[in-house]
Structure 1
Amino acid sequence: MMATKTKTSLKRLGRFLLWTAVFAGFVVLLVAAGKEKNDAKCKDIKISFKAEKSKVFLETADIKALIIHNKRDNPVGKASREINILAIEKTVEKEPWVKDAEIYIDNNQVLHIDLTQREPVARVFTFNGNSFYFDPGGERIPASPKFSVKVPVFTNYPTDSQRKLSKADSTLTCQLIDIASYIVADTFWNAQVEQVNITPDREFEIIPKLGEHVIEFGEGTQVDNKFKKLLVFYKEALNKVGWNTYSRINIAYQNEVYAVKKDAKTALVPTDSTATPRVEEDPSMRVQGRPVVAGETNPPKRNPNNKTAGNKGRSQQPRAIYTGQH
């Protein structure tokens, strides 16, 4: 009985020692492999961009130049343990066009640099003639002499300062980015908008590519609604009377569009004005069943906080009204 217990204990001890030896051998192999990898020299640098090829603005040579100032800094030929991955990552991310960088060395001793670029939505020209880009988050990206990105152009931006913006400049910038983002995302408006001017009143005027008119956008609020009603006006008015009939088209008012003919001597009156307009019942000059209105006074100053004034009893769907003298 005692002999049986002794044999069992010896077997368990033997298995334990065997597995311990296997584990120890495995650890030794891992350490040896790790040491071998750390001692292995970097063979190459591979740079890739997480973007469509047509949207890659940076060049691999520019990124390599950031990390290879001289032969001493070149990671190629260095042992892996001598390469400071974190330092290289911080250096690459100092490039303003780089949003994020992932850097690692693979089993073939190739240093990989995977980059995410900043994607601009607007190019801005300031009062002083300086130029830069904005990304969707409001980060400034310097213009490059090597390439130009096709995005909406905004002129007369009021400040060159890269420090903390004033409240007014911050609000203007947010509105600018909202307008630019909408244009970039829409195929038609991306093709139609030539540039956007910022007025002294911090409002926006759009210069279109097709049509000899200026679009008074007003403040950069209700962007979706304004572009939708402008599109209705394009379809239901300009397609009938011609794209060069009007000199100014105002979409700043709630749910309405006002336009001034090139030969009009006075500005035009919205239909909800307290003035008594002259109505011409020419059926060929109607938009969505509404008659043309020729005004004799200027439109009242709009109140951006009054979103329903003059619209009681009317549909809240955007409607287009074009007016003028004949």
Structure 2
Amino acid sequence: MKVKKVLKLSVLAVLFIALAGYVVYAMTSMTKPDPEEICRGVVLVIEDNGSADFVDKAKVESLLKAQNLYPVGRKCADIDTRTIEEALKRNPFIERVECYKASDGKFCINVFQRTPVMYIMPTGKDGYFVDSNGEIIPNTNFASNIVVATGDIDKKYAVKELVPFGKFLQNDDFWNNQIEQINVSKDREHQRVVELVPRVGEHIVYMGQMEGFEKKLKRLKTFYRKAMGQVGWNKYVKINLEYDNQIICTKK
């Protein structure tokens, strides 16, 4: 009886191993790419970052066709995903690209645009966008409601001081809707100082230097909440936040 039981278990083990081997072989055969398969289409997705529309599907297709990289009609085995990704990332409006081959003969491309946080208009120079990483985006016909910074601005100041401020505004619904424009000038000590132009109210907000802007805007928000409802939004022409722990208002 023991011999028969051992033989039975041995036969079952052999059958199980054979079945497992067949399953592995079948799956490998099914997923093995056909070297002659032709790309039948492109699934192109422009990822929405909520604030940019620099590129569209037609633009991406045009970029690939201009460099003879458009996948449709080519053998899938000959399509180099890395080459396509690098070609698209050379476009100044594109931050990241992900490409992969699908199993149905289609090629997938996901394009991630740069996220503009501010439009810079330096005095006497061409305007440009800056993105959330501090990268310069060339001027374009792109229309947006992001804040505009004007005045005495060089690119170093834009990246170091204005980009963090722009990111702060975008991450705060109240300030993102309230601040419309930033004016940058130099004071008597030749230090850059900032004025804010709000959408609501006929006043200018004088920030002074950008250092400590979060605390300054926190004081201003408290002032808005406690005072503006009583005196009205148009009572003052200037609100000064330059000095710590105080707000100086100039009446009309």
TM over 0.5: yes
| Cα drift, residue 34 of structure 1 | 2.9
CA distance in 1, matches of 2:116, 2:51: 14
- Name the SS for the 1:248 alignment partner: strand
TM-score by length of 1: 0.64
2: CA distance between counterparts of 1:253 and 1:148?
36
Assess, with a 3 A threshold, how the Cα gap between structure 1 residues 73 and 177 changes in structure 2: closer, same or farther.
closer
Instruction: Give a deviation string over 1:41-63, Cα, whole Å, max 9, x none.
Output: 00011111332677554210111
Q: Deviations over 1:203-229 (max 9, x none)?
A: 110011222221111111222211121
1:182-261 alignment runs, 5 A limit:
182-200=168-186, 201-261=191-251
Q: Percent of counterpart pairs with the same letter?
A: 25
- 1-side partners of 2:197 and 2:31: how far apart? 65
1:46 aligns with 2:43: yes
Match of residue 156, structure 1, among 144, 151, 158: 151
1:32 Cα deviation after fit? 8.4
Instruction: State the one-letter code of the partner of 1:159.
Output: D
RMSD, matched Cα: 2.9
Which region of structure 1 is more displaced relative to structure 2, 173-182 or 99-108?
173-182
Establish whether residue 96 from structure 1 lines up as the match of residue 86 from structure 2. no
Which sections of structure 2, spanning at least 5 residues, go unmatched?
Answer: 1-6
Instruction: Please list the CA deviations of residues 265-295 of structure 1 after superposition, one character each: whole Å capped at 9, or x if unmatched.
Output: xxxxxxxxxxxxxxxxxxxxxxxxxxxxxxx
1:181 equivalenced with 2:167 (yes/no): yes
Change (3 A) 1:25 1:236: closer
Amino acid at match of 1:257: I
The one of the two structures with greater contact order (alpha-carbon pairs below 8 A, sep at least 6) is: 2
Secondary structure at 2:116 match in 1: coil
Q: Distance in 2 between matches of 1:125 and 1:50?
A: 28
Whole-angstrom CA distance in 2 between matches of 1:182 and 1:52 = 16
Distance 1:74 1:234, change over 3 A: closer
Deviation at 1:254, TM superposition (A): 0.5
Letter in 2 for 1:188: F
- Residue number among 60, 66, 90 corresponding to 1:63 in the alignment: 60
Distance 1:78 1:218, change over 3 A: same
Specify the code of the residue in structure 2 equivalent to 1:240.
Q
The structure where strand makes up a greater share of residues is 2
Query: What amino acid maps onto 2:222 in structure 1?
Result: V
**Over alpha carbons, which structure has the higher Rg?**
1
Describe the shift of the 1:249–1:31 C-alpha distance in structure 2 as closer, same or farther (beyond 3 A).
same
* Paired residues of 1:178 and 1:223 also in contact (CA < 8 A): no
Q: Is 1:178–1:220's contact at 8 Å kept on the other side of the alignment?
A: no
Q: CA deviation at 1:128?
A: 2.4
Alpha-carbon distance in structure 2 between the residues aligned to 1:203 and 1:54: 27
Output the CA distance in 1 between the equivalents of 2:24 and 2:235.
Answer: 84
Check conservation: 2:206, 2:242, Cα contact below 8 A.
yes
